[in-house]
Structure 1
């Protein structure tokens, strides 16, 4: 199974939010992410799980 890694731009498109929103969420640790040097990256699988958890809380 191939794991999909997404950039900030791809994640903004995936979530349907502005690029700045993703940067702010990552900076405040509101969304799961990891860094590769100065680059912020996201695992689609981890973010999908996070989205499910968020929807259960609402």
Structure 2
């Protein structure tokens, strides 16, 4: 049995209409949360390194 591979037009996935206000707020909250978690992990890593030295 042969498997076929379809190439996707990545530029068109999800549509071309602009984001709604609700979607913009959801994305903004997601990125803020992700950034704060990354900063917290970085902060924890620095304190561990300082404790060892």
TM-score normalised by the shorter chain: which range applies? 0.3 to 0.5
Question: Which of the pair is proportionally richer in helix?
Answer: 2
Q: Which has the larger radius of gyration?
A: 2
Query: Taking structure 1 as the reference length, what is the TM-score of the superposition?
Result: 0.32
Question: Which of the pair is proportionally richer in strand?
Answer: 1
Tell which has more relative contact order, 1 or 2 (C-alpha 8 A, sep 6+): 1
